Homo-oligomer: A and B are copies of this chain.
């Protein structure tokens, strides 16, 4: 005889929270912070919200759109640069916050690269960057195109560095590439040979700073 199954009383299970876009995004944010974006799947979200994956499509268009919402959520925490700060210092301050944000969520960075974010916090962020460039005397077109470029640099850097830091496979690749470069025959790759050491020199921070300065100089000087 199987024991009589005692039904779980309504009280023991927390009341099923009402579904809403806000609820979906809140759960997604929590999972992303605790376990990474990889774990933020429609199925996982649905099961945490006590429903089936199909139900989520009432509140989000698809995975890409959800990722856009997560980005905007993260950007709500950006500190505006101090009033009166020099324009270049302001750009550095803003962009490095953005980069740090994405470094913490490299797979979100991957998504962002193929997204056209359009949330209010993203627009505010772009507006601040534009304002600083314009205040620095950068021409309207250079400022507009340059902001795109600076954001692309920051995002791509987060994708590159972030993913590599986290995955064991990627470490194997770094190792392989380093070996390949170090062993590259002098005769076949003479230029690699000439700058061999510089190819691996510098910290991530130094290289990012170099990249940022080069790009900003180029943008500011654009005819």
Q: Which of the segments A9-17, A89-97, A196-204 contacts the partner chain?
A: A196-204
How many A residues, CB 8 Å from partner? 72
Interface residues of A in 126-167 (CB under 8 A from B): 126-128, 130-131, 134, 140-146, 148-149, 152-153, 155-157, 159-160, 163-164
A9 to chain B: closest CB distance in Å? 45
Contacts of A123 in B (CB 8 A): 180-181, 184, 189, 192
Number of copies: 2
- Cβ contacts under 8 Å, A114 to chain B: 110, 159-160, 163-164, 170
Nearest neighbor of A159 in chain B, beta-carbon distance: B113
In chain A, positions 30-82 with a C-beta closer than 8 Å to chain B are: 61-62, 64-65, 68
Please measure, in the bound complex, the distance between the C-alpha atom of A214 and the C-alpha atom of B6, giving whole angstroms: 71
Interface residues, chain A, CB within 8 Å of chain B?
Answer: 61-62, 64-65, 68, 110, 113-118, 123-124, 126-128, 130-131, 134, 140-146, 148-149, 152-153, 155-157, 159-160, 163-164, 169-170, 172-174, 176-177, 179-181, 184, 188-192, 194-195, 198-199, 201-202, 207, 210-211, 213-219, 221-222
